[in-house]
Chain A
Amino acid sequence: MDSYLLADAETVVARARAGDLDALEALYRAFEVPVYNLARRICRTAEDAEDVLQETFFEVCRSIGRYREEGSLWGWVRTIAASKALMRLRRNKYRETEELHDEVLGRHREDSHLRMDLEAALERLSETSRAVVWLHDVEGYTHEEIAEMMGKTPSFSKSQLARAHARLRRWLGEEGS
């Protein structure tokens, strides 16, 4: 992903380490969309995701001197972004989305007839479940890594993933298909 996003990554990183603002902006432009996408998939609102984007790049700019080039640059940036997004989730203490919807709409489990598209179904998952699904299935983090970032156990991550898939399956109308 690095070479695709940032043609001359080594030079840009070297300049960024020296504090060159143009190079730091080049890093921002290269990773702006994937960082925002990751944040938006985890956070409830676009505003929160934009704040995570801003916090992530402020941290990237301050910490670029610590990037060791052992892993990919995107992997390093992504870990910062994921940590910031999960931190925001904890700070905001969102109520579980699906529980809220169920209360408001006075429904419980009789929604098996629903058939949503994937975006809507993903959005309907609780913040924690959605974060686990995205980090594991899309970003490729292991349950151990997710557990460490969330301050939970790998078993927690595994059970969240299984529950989320059971719900997605139902909401996408895949049951009995």
Chain B
Amino acid sequence: MSHLSMEELVALREPGLEPGDAVAREHLQACLQCRAEMERLHQRVARLKALPPLRPARDRWPQVESRLLTERRRHRTRNAGLAGLAAAASIALGLALTHTAPPPDQFAQSQQIEEAMQRSQALESELSQFNPEGRVLDGRTAGIAQELEDRIAQVDRELEMTDLQGREARDSSLLQLWRERVGLLDALVDVHVTRASNVGL
């Protein structure tokens, strides 16, 4: 048998037996040259482990802390904004239903808005139980989640702007925006659920 290749030597350091390991081990026992090569491999690995640790030149904690605080502020603002929006929309709908007698199609639209809002709140609740901020995401998934969150924030801003519209236009916009919000939240929940089922981190 010729001398052991580096692949064979490296494989012999692994725990367990692979096909061909027995023959290779037998050769190693008998061959001085291969034993010396294996010893050099062991020493190289030991020297790698003994390399002094490299240290960062700069303290990066201030950047980590600053980003963390920014994210916490953004999260609080979003939650507060959402609660305010939902409350304002409920009051507006309630007033509209109490003080005026809307035509049947308008009444149906108001009900649909109410349903979309309830669905949106249920999805927010599902998302918060899922703790998306405490989840490790790979780069691509994190990018998708970020994009969805940005679009939700955009919808929230547009919901705030509906106050400036006339009633009919407002109801029509509200329904469209709340439905869009539900769709985006649905997608965001899917991202986190799919990720959770795929990853053990």
Check if B6 sits within 8 Å of A162, measured CB to CB.
yes
Q: Is A14 an interface residue (CB 8 A)?
A: no
Tell me which of A30-38, A92-100, A104-112 binds B: A30-38
Contact B201 A80, beta carbon cutoff 8 Å: yes
Q: Is the interface of B mostly helix, strand, loop or mixed?
A: helix
Docked Cα-Cα span, A25 to B11, in Å, equals 41
Contact call A28/B64, Cβ cutoff below 8 A: yes
Report if A62-B45 is in contact (Cβ < 8 Å); known contacts: A40-B54, A169-B6: no
Query: Shortest beta-carbon distance, A62 to chain B, in Å?
Result: 6
Which among A19, A50, A163 has the highest number of chain B CB atoms within 10 Å? A50
Query: Given the complex, which residues of B lie within 8 Å of A63, measured CB to CB?
Result: 134-136, 201
Q: In the complex, what distance in Å separates the CA atom of A137 from the CA atom of B5?
A: 18
B3: Cβ under 8 A from any A Cβ: no
Contact A162 B7 (CB under 8 A): yes
**Given A49, A91, A138, which contacts B48 in the complex, CB threshold below 8 Å?**
A138
Q: Does B22 contact A (CB under 8 A)?
A: no
Is A119 part of the contact surface with B, judged by Cβ < 8 Å? yes
Asked if B105 is at the interface (CB within 8 A of a chain A CB), the reply is: no
* Interface size of B as a range: 35 or more
Q: Are B138 and A49 in contact (CB under 8 A)?
A: no
| Residues of the B chain whose Cβ atoms lie less than 8 Å from the Cβ of A41 | 54
Is B2 close to A, CB under 8 A?
Answer: no
Instruction: Check B29 for interface membership: any CB of A closer than 8 A.
Output: no
Q: Are A158 and B11 in contact (CB under 8 A)?
A: yes
Is B41 in the interface zone, CB < 8 Å from A?
A: yes
Q: Once the chains bind, are A25 and B61 in contact (CB under 8 Å)?
A: yes
How many whole Å from B132's CB to the nearest CB in chain A? 9
A26 to chain B, nearest CB (A): 10
The answer to whether A32 and B133 touch (CB under 8 A), given A61-B68, A172-B44, is: no
Instruction: Give the docked Cα–Cα distance between A19 and B44 (Å).
Output: 43
Complex partner residue of B64 from A61, A64, A83, CB under 8 angstroms: A61
Question: Smallest Cβ distance from A3 to chain B, in angstroms?
Answer: 18
**B99: CB under 8 A from chain A?**
no
Do residues B7 and A57 form an inter-chain contact, with CB atoms below 8 A?
Answer: no
Alpha-carbon separation in the docked complex, A173 to B138 (Å): 41
Q: Are A66 and B58 in contact (CB under 8 A)?
A: no
Q: Residues 75-103 of chain B: 1 if any A CB is under 8 Å from the residue's CB, otherwise 0?
A: 00000000000000000000000000000
Beta-carbon nearest neighbor of B7 in chain A? A162
Chain B CB within 8 A of A161 CB: yes
B interface, CB within 8 angstroms of A: 5-7, 9-11, 14, 40-41, 44-45, 47-49, 51, 53-58, 60-61, 63-65, 67-68, 71-72, 131, 133-136, 138-139, 201
| Contact sample, A vs B, 22 pairs, CB 8 Å cutoff | A19-B72, A25-B65, A34-B53, A37-B54, A40-B54, A49-B54, A49-B56, A50-B57, A54-B63, A57-B64, A58-B68, A59-B136, A63-B134, A65-B134, A79-B201, A83-B136, A83-B201, A119-B51, A143-B14, A159-B7, A162-B6, A165-B44
Given contacts A32-B56, A165-B44, 10 further A-B contacts (CB under 8 A): A28-B64, A32-B61, A36-B53, A37-B55, A54-B60, A65-B131, A118-B47, A118-B48, A134-B48, A138-B45
